[in-house]
Amino acid sequence: MTALTLSTAAPSGLRADAVVVGVAKGDKGLVVAPGAEAVDKAYDGKLASVLETLGATGGEGEVTKLPAPSGFKAPVVLAVGLGALPAKEEAFEAESLRRAAGVAARTLAGAKKAAFALPVADAEDAGAIAEGALLGAYSFDAYKESAQDAKAAKAPLAEAALLGVKPRDKAYKAEIERATALGEELNRARDLVNTPPNDLNPEAFAAVAQAAGKEHGIKVQVLDEKALTKGGYGGILGVGAGSTSAPRLVKLSYTSSKAKKHLAFVGKGITYDSGGISLKPAGHNETMKCDMAGAAAVFAAVVTAARLKLDVNVTGWLALAENMPSGSATRPGDVLRMYSGKTVEVLNTDAEGRLVLADALAKASEETPDAIVDVATLTGAMVLALGNRTYGIMANDDAFRASIHEIAEEVGEPSWPMPLPADLRKGMDSATADIANMGERMGGGLVAGLFLKEFVGEGITWAHLDVAGPAFNEGGPFGYTPKGGTGSAVRTLVRLAERTAAGDLG
């Protein structure tokens, strides 16, 4: 994990492998961003023109390397694009700083130390840069053991030193501590998503949660197949029936003596989704190890809340199962009796996420939390609607949905509010059971949300985040987002917990 340090040293005097500076697109060309004044001066005020000669424009994510000026202890200056220059008297947005720091950290993989001379107007800016550097430096190389792969896989940037900051200031220290906790836990969520399903089945995931609970003072309860059977968790058991890896329901409880509110986070944790008897075709199942990304996000958020000692009670529910075809698997046409007592006719075994979530939502509702938020890679329909980088938000309360959207945008997680049209509910009527797990094909993401709503306790505020698009990046890395597991929704959940602790639930 990349170490974070705060430094008052001048860019020229710091021993590092590179000095990172920001550049932006101005009305008349490239502009050197605040924080890099000393570096620009060392180039006789000609850094912008030198960079333009090399083809730099200041565009977001653009990287240009050049030899450091004479007298610098670092051999390289790395200029990273921040995008459009803000209007006069306005600062760069936190997300621009996060992305720039992330790009720089990833570019400097293999380096021991980099000095970040990016714009810092206040402690929050320092936190954004620190967060971006930690997330951008991430790599997953646990399974690359051949000599050739090991040589190609450079170690993450070992240390990021932030310049232009106040190391002794409490606000700056707090932001770095927050970024460290959040970055480490979000990266752990990425590790879980990237871990092959033969090494991360429900039992193994539960063990990871138990170990984290011991480390951070979180109470962890694991319901195995016997406890699930005794408790009547028909949805979780039905989904896991076809696998030799038995399902689990994991409860993580972080409590604060000063808490006045209680949040419940529920995560879909299908450690591998073959589709079951409704088998996925080739081309659609190769990345289905990522179908537990919602549970990974919930797990990371609860641990982060504990590490930050937030004044709010947070309970995480991880609904873990492996969806496989076999002679014991649930069949299309089977009826499951859920934990809530409702019966569900299973028309498609590949609509399994809503079944495990339904049991977890009903169980979480028994504690009457002030709000429930579930996170799931739930539907391909949401990806069709919003693309690969934006998740959908549905809720039974418009104000709460708006608050989640605002929080997501604030922390840099693109999202969009989606409706729950009442007319789509009729499509899930069943002649055999209380409800079917499928409805109309058009608006499938909304249908899934309506299904989940049926299992939320009366009077409880609830939101559903469908992260099917952004949870797993099959393209190239961008900003601080790597290829593979991304940790989508972790930062939204953590910020929601922070706001709730401060008395603003939304």
Lowest mean pLDDT among 20-24, 152-156, 249-253, 440-444: 152-156
Q: What Rg value do the Cα atoms of the chain yield, rounded?
A: 24
Strand 219-223, strand 248-254: pairing: antiparallel
Average pLDDT over residues 73-79: 98
Amino acid sitting at position 205: F
How far is CA 441 from each of CA 143, 380, 492, rounded to the nearest angstrom? 39, 11, 29
Query: Which residue in 98, 106, 2 sits closest to 63, CA to CA?
Result: 106
Are the C-beta atoms of 210 and 200 separated by less than 8 Å?
no
Q: In this model, does residue 147 exceed pLDDT 90?
A: no
Q: In this model, does residue 151 exceed pLDDT 60?
A: no
Band of pLDDT at residue 228, cut at 50, 70 and 90: very high
Q: In this model, does residue 150 exceed pLDDT 90?
A: no
pLDDT value at position 89? 83
Tens digits of residue pLDDT in 82-136 = 999 999 889 999 999 999 999 999 999 999 999 999 999 999 999 999 999 999 9
Residue 404 structure tokens: 């989640």
CA distance 490 to 506: 18
Where in 329-431 does DSSP place strands (E)? 335-337, 343-345, 371-376, 391-395, 415-417
CA distance 311 to 325: 44
Annotate 291-348 with DSSP letters as a single string: GGHHHHHHHHHHHHHHHTT-SSEEEEEEEEEEE--STTS--TT-EEE-TTS-EEE-S-
CA distance 85 to 90: 9
Are the C-beta atoms of 468 and 382 separated by less than 8 Å?
yes
CA distance 12 to 33: 17
Average pLDDT, the chain: 96
Lowest mean pLDDT among 147-151, 269-273, 340-344, 349-353: 147-151
Tens digits of residue pLDDT in 98-112 = 999 999 999 999 999
Tens digits of residue pLDDT in 368-427 = 999 999 999 999 999 999 999 999 999 999 999 999 999 999 999 999 999 999 999 999
The residue annotated as part of the active site, out of 268, 289, 354, 401, is 354
Tens digits of residue pLDDT in 19-34 = 999 999 999 999 999 9
CA distance 181 to 301: 10
Phi and psi at residue 31, to the nearest 5°: -130, 135
CA distance 489 to 316: 14
How far is CA 282 from each of CA 13, 132, 279, 287, 350, rounded to the nearest angstrom? 56, 36, 9, 11, 14
Amino acid sitting at position 320: L
Average pLDDT over residues 430-454: 97
pLDDT value at position 154? 84
pLDDT value at position 146? 67
Residue 417 structure tokens: 């509010």
How far is CA 499 from each of CA 7, 31, 123, 397, rounded to the nearest angstrom? 30, 36, 18, 18
Tens digits of residue pLDDT in 180-214 = 999 999 999 999 999 999 999 999 999 999 999 99
CA distance 498 to 234: 34
Query: Which residue in 305, 286, 245 sits closest to 269, CA to CA?
Result: 245
Judge whether 354 counts as a catalytic residue: yes
DSSP structural state of residue 481 = B
How far is CA 222 from each of CA 87, 227, 231, 247, 362, rounded to the nearest angstrom? 53, 9, 13, 10, 17
- Beta pairing partners, 32: 23
Percentage of the chain lying above the pLDDT 90 cut: 96
Tens digits of residue pLDDT in 451-497 = 999 999 999 999 999 999 999 999 999 999 999 999 999 999 999 99
Tens digits of residue pLDDT in 296-315 = 999 999 999 999 999 999 99
Strand 114-117, strand 18-26: pairing: parallel
Q: In this model, does residue 266 exceed pLDDT 60?
A: yes
pLDDT value at position 152? 60
The residue annotated as part of the active site, out of 280, 389, 453, 483, is 280
CA distance 5 to 173: 10
Site of tokens 């306005």: 90
Strand 262-273, strand 313-323: pairing: parallel
Band of pLDDT at residue 144, cut at 50, 70 and 90: confident
Q: What share of the chain is helix, strand, coil (3-state, %, to 5)?
A: 35, 20, 40
Q: In this model, does residue 52 exceed pLDDT 80?
A: yes
